[in-house]
Amino acid sequence: MTSTSIWMDVHIMPNTESLVGETECDVAVIGSGIAGISTAYELCKRGKSVIVIDRGRIAGGMTSRTSAHLAPLCDDLVSEMVSIKGLEATTLFCDSHAAAVDRIEEIQKNENIDCDFRRLDGYLFQGRGMPADIIEKELGAVREVGAPVDRLMGVPFSGCESRQVLRYPRQAAFHPLKYLAGVTKACQKNGATFLANSPVEEVGEKDGTVTVKTARGVIRAKYAVVATNSSISDRFAIHTKTAPYRTYVMAFEIERGALPDALYWDTEDPYHYVRLQPGPGQTDFVLVGGEDHKSATADDADTRFGKLETWARDLIPALGKETHRWSGQVLETVDYAGFIGRDPGGSNIYVAMGDSGQGLTHGVMGAMLNTGLILGEDHPWKDLYAPGRIPLKAAKNFVAENTTAIKSFAEYVASGEIGSLGELKPGHGAIVRRGLEKIAAYRDSSGGLHLNSASCSHVGCHLHFNSFETCWDCPCHGSMFDVDGCPINAPAIGPLGEVKE
């Protein structure tokens, strides 16, 4: 992926070595985003030897593409979650995410991490043309789960003075990579090892030992935690209960004090979200996100960024120049809770996936849960997030999301996007049909062709080109590949099939 977020000027452990040869530990953690690093922290603080391994650089995945809201409520509305999971489970969900924010606050304080952490208010406001009864319904649901909430009129955006609003106190924001830079240092002080640029090719267990294999080495551990955004240990069962969505974020300069420091999000579908990040001198950055769509179902990033900017400037006239634009991918689960805990197909392998737009709190909360389970403790959150659960009341969402796979496989009988490789312009990618074969073709700026199978190496879904990020996206389960066919996001492990010119 080629875009750059506002967080990426922080490089975490840039000189980390790769895995070569064989090594052992108590727990191997696969993935170095907030879920993986937080898991390593919790485990090594409790006396376990830990190795964290990542296919790329440390903290270089989806955590570096977040908007970094810390809102301990259901991202898809508390009222919606209550309708699917019931009041008791929804209350537990909100409590667990609030505990995650508390844990971040505690860790940054105990480890003296300068990461711009602050508590602030969050505001859910009535979107354009959206009925006010959404706010009324949400107010009742939030009060039922026991979370603090006030009903107000208006937010400090132009034309929004008469919008219905809910205010949630004790939300939070921070700089996620500054935070993780401090957490990784604390992990190293407690004996944890980090390995980068080491794509894991296999995770298995036998006779009580988990084996993690790469092309150049092996880790043998008592346990493994797969925290790879989308699990690489389970091939299909969990993934049918999630769906990948792409979201877009922009950053703009603004004079400090021109907009109150808070979290803001509206009731539109897809919704928009806004927050501030401290900048240099008397300047702050306003982060504006939204315009989500199912991954690989659209390739119109410029249009979506244009809509985002228009929306933002209409509401916040004080916005200055744009400084960053980027995209990320979130995994929506059919019942809005992540899949965290023991992998249904194993005994000593644990997973953490399914952020549902709340990857930061899911990651920290999941680290707390998986650590407790590995240490043999009973945990009040384990059933809520159990990877093997079958959310029967979410059957409608399950069916809707899994039609994507059916449509994807049907694309193999369709014609290509262009008639021949000769039509492909430099800097562009497209699907080309060659007899029975579908080819994912990209022509680089020097005119060279990069040809691969258009079939995702995970379960074979039909890929689509993402021109903004210069990669191939899978609409079914969220795998991504660079133009040479190498996987850059799970669940795919293997490269795309090679195609000769």
Among residues 46, 47, 53, 55, the alpha carbon closest in space to that of 28 is found at 53
pLDDT at 201 (0 to 100): 94
Alpha carbon dihedral 86, 90, 91, 96, in 10-degree steps, equals 150
pLDDT at 395 (0 to 100): 47
Q: Is the pLDDT assigned to residue 348 strictly greater than 50?
A: yes
Helix (H, G, I), strand (E, B) or coil at 482: coil
pLDDT band at 409 (very low <50, low <70, confident <90, very high): low
Q: How far apart are CA 49 and CA 46, in angstroms?
A: 9
Pairing mode, strands 263-266 and 273-278: antiparallel
Q: How far apart are CA 468 and CA 453, in angstroms?
A: 21
Rounded to the nearest angstrom, the gap between the alpha carbon of residue 479 and the centroid of all alpha carbons in its chain is: 12
CB 56 within 8 A of CB 196: yes
Among residues 418, 479, 460, 462, the alpha carbon closest in space to that of 443 is found at 418
Rounded to the nearest angstrom, the gap between the alpha carbon of residue 419 and the centroid of all alpha carbons in its chain is: 36
* Mean confidence (pLDDT) of the chain: 93
CB 211 within 8 A of CB 204: yes
447-479 pLDDT per residue, tens: 999 999 999 999 889 999 999 999 999 999 899
pLDDT band at 169 (very low <50, low <70, confident <90, very high): very high
Residue with tokens 């009041």: 87
Q: What percent of the chain has pLDDT over 70?
A: 94
Concatenating the DSSP letter of every residue in 441-468 gives: EEE-TTS-EEEEESB-TTT-PBPEEETT
Strands of 273-366 (E only): list them.
Answer: 273-278, 283-294, 322-333, 339-342, 349-353
Q: How far apart are CA 85 and CA 200, in angstroms?
A: 35
Q: Is the pLDDT assigned to residue 398 strictly greater than 50?
A: no
Give Cβ neighbours of residue 75 (< 8 Å, ≥ 6 apart).
336, 356, 357, 358
Helix axes 176-189, 78-110, angle to 10 degrees: 50
Neighbours of 15 (CB within 10 A): 6
**DSSP H or E run through 480:** strand 480-481
Q: How far apart are CA 133 and CA 126, in angstroms?
A: 9
Q: Is the pLDDT assigned to residue 401 strictly greater than 50?
A: no
pLDDT band at 358 (very low <50, low <70, confident <90, very high): very high
Full set of structural domains in the chain with CATH: 21-66+177-240+336-398 (3.50.50.60), 121-172+243-333 (3.30.9.10), 414-489 (2.102.10.10)
Concatenating the DSSP letter of every residue in 50-88 gives: EEEE-SSSTT-SGGGG---EE--S-TT-HHHHHHHHHHH
pLDDT at 248 (0 to 100): 97
pLDDT at 242 (0 to 100): 87
Q: How far apart are CA 393 and CA 254, in angstroms?
A: 44
Amino acid at 309: E
Region of poorest pLDDT, from 55-69, 153-167, 399-413: 399-413
Among residues 97, 30, 92, 50, the alpha carbon closest in space to that of 69 is found at 97
pLDDT band at 399 (very low <50, low <70, confident <90, very high): very low
Q: Is the pLDDT assigned to residue 149 strictly greater than 60?
A: yes
pLDDT at 397 (0 to 100): 52
Q: What is the mean pLDDT of residues 172-183?
A: 98
Concatenating the DSSP letter of every residue in 342-394 gives: E-TT-SSEEEEE--TT-HHHHHHHHHHHHHHHHTT---TTHHHH-TT---GGG
The pair of three-digit structure tokens given for residue 300, joined into one six-digit string: 């119109």
CB 104 within 8 A of CB 113: no
pLDDT band at 236 (very low <50, low <70, confident <90, very high): low
Region of poorest pLDDT, from 107-116, 222-231, 393-402: 393-402
Q: How far apart are CA 21 and CA 103, in angstroms?
A: 36
| pTM given for the model | 0.94
251-276 pLDDT per residue, tens: 999 999 999 999 999 999 889 999 99
Q: How far apart are CA 277 and CA 251, in angstroms?
A: 9
The pair of three-digit structure tokens given for residue 466, joined into one six-digit string: 């993402």
Helix (H, G, I), strand (E, B) or coil at 497: coil
Q: Is the pLDDT assigned to residue 405 strictly greater than 70?
A: no
Q: What is the mean pLDDT of residues 24-48?
A: 98
Among residues 485, 487, 481, 488, the alpha carbon closest in space to that of 499 is found at 485
CB 466 within 8 A of CB 458: no
Residue 281 φ/ψ region, left for φ over 0, alpha for ψ in the -120 to 50 degree band, beta for the rest: left
Higher-scoring residue by pLDDT: 357, 278: 278
List, edge to edge, every strand of the sheet that includes 480-481. Answer: 464-466, 471-473, 480-481, 487-489
